[in-house]
Amino acid sequence: MKKKGFIFDLDGVIVDTAKYHFLAWKKLANSIGIDFSEEQNEQLKGVSRKASLEKILAWGNVTLTEEEFAELMSKKNEDYLGYINEMNEEEILPDVPKILNFILGKNQGVALGSASKNAKSILEKVNLLNKFEAIVDGNEVSKAKPDPEVFEIAAREIGMEPHNCIVFEDSLAGIQAANAIDMCSIGIGDATVLKDADFVFKDFTEISTDFINQLIND
């Protein structure tokens, strides 16, 4: 049987942590007099913590010292971790375990490729840590999506060539990152937003095991 590498993004693909990022960023933005909407939160999907705070400050026209910036970053994360600590398996998005277990059952490579520095804690909370052969997250990556670095490292760690990898992603930047190194890109979410993806599904309930078999044998 052929072997492919399947690389999963975390937030928006395996779990919906965007709602917790929203609560933590909103509290923080409001505390320094900046409004923060759900639409703005959408623009932070897949964006690193540092770049997210830079964007929020730019929206509110606020400049900070380096110390203040660092303090706000850790405040936001502390607040966010409060939500993460309450997570459990019930927060895994529908049919993710089904597809993940199917892929593992076919002895395929499986890796995580996320911008989050909290990826390991989140996977641990939802009891999926042992499913991944490699976990590449915000602690190992210096260039953010759409740069393909995160997926490049993930492919290397599972011993696969990029053109034999398939990426599941909910952000356009992530889709562009996958396309940039000739990986097959599968968008999870809205087809109009994820317009550059090779395939788009609303969520994993729309993905069949036949489709996964096709990807493996392509």
> Which is closer to Mg ion, CB of 9 or CB of 137?
9
User: In whole angstroms, how close is the CB of 14 to ligand B16 at the nearest point?
Assistant: 8
Sign of CA dihedral 16, 158, 146, 196: negative
Structure tokens, 159: 């011993």
Degrees to nearest 5, angle at CA 144 with 43 and 58: 45
**Residue 164 in contact with ligand B16, rule: CB under 6 A:** no
**Residue 149 in contact with ligand B16, rule: CB under 6 A:** no
* Cα(146)–Cα(143) distance, integer angstroms: 8
Query: x/- binding map, residues 70-99, to ligand B16, per CB under 6 A?
Result: -------x----------------------
**Residue 152 in contact with ligand B16, rule: CB under 6 A:** no
Question: By CB under 6 A, which span of 54-62, 114-122, 186-194, 203-211 interacts with ligand B16?
Answer: 114-122
Question: By CB under 6 A, which span of 26-34, 47-55, 59-67, 196-204 interacts with ligand B16?
Answer: 47-55
DSSP-assigned beta bridge partners for residue 1: none
**Residue 9 in contact with Mg ion, rule: CB under 5 A:** yes
> Which is closer to ligand B16, CB of 77 or CB of 179?
77
* Cα(27)–Cα(75) distance, integer angstroms: 10
Residue 11 among the catalytic residues: yes
* Cα(72)–Cα(53) distance, integer angstroms: 8
* Cα(11)–Cα(13) distance, integer angstroms: 6
**Residue 137 in contact with Mg ion, rule: CB under 5 A:** no
Structure tokens, 10: 């975390």
DSSP-assigned beta bridge partners for residue 185: 167
Figure out which of the listed residues 5, 155, 170, 204 binds Mg ion, where binding follows CB under 5 A.
Answer: 170
> Which is closer to Mg ion, CB of 149 or CB of 170?
170
Q: How many residues belong to the site for ligand B16 (CB under 6 A)? A: 19
Figure out which of the listed residues 6, 7, 20, 21 binds ligand B16, where binding follows CB under 6 A.
Answer: 21
- Report the candidate in 66, 4, 42 with the shortest Cα–Cα distance to residue 54: 66
* Cα(100)–Cα(49) distance, integer angstroms: 27
Residues identified as active-site: 9, 11
The residue ranges that bind ligand B16 (CB under 6 A) are 9-12, 21, 44-49, 52, 77, 114-118, 138
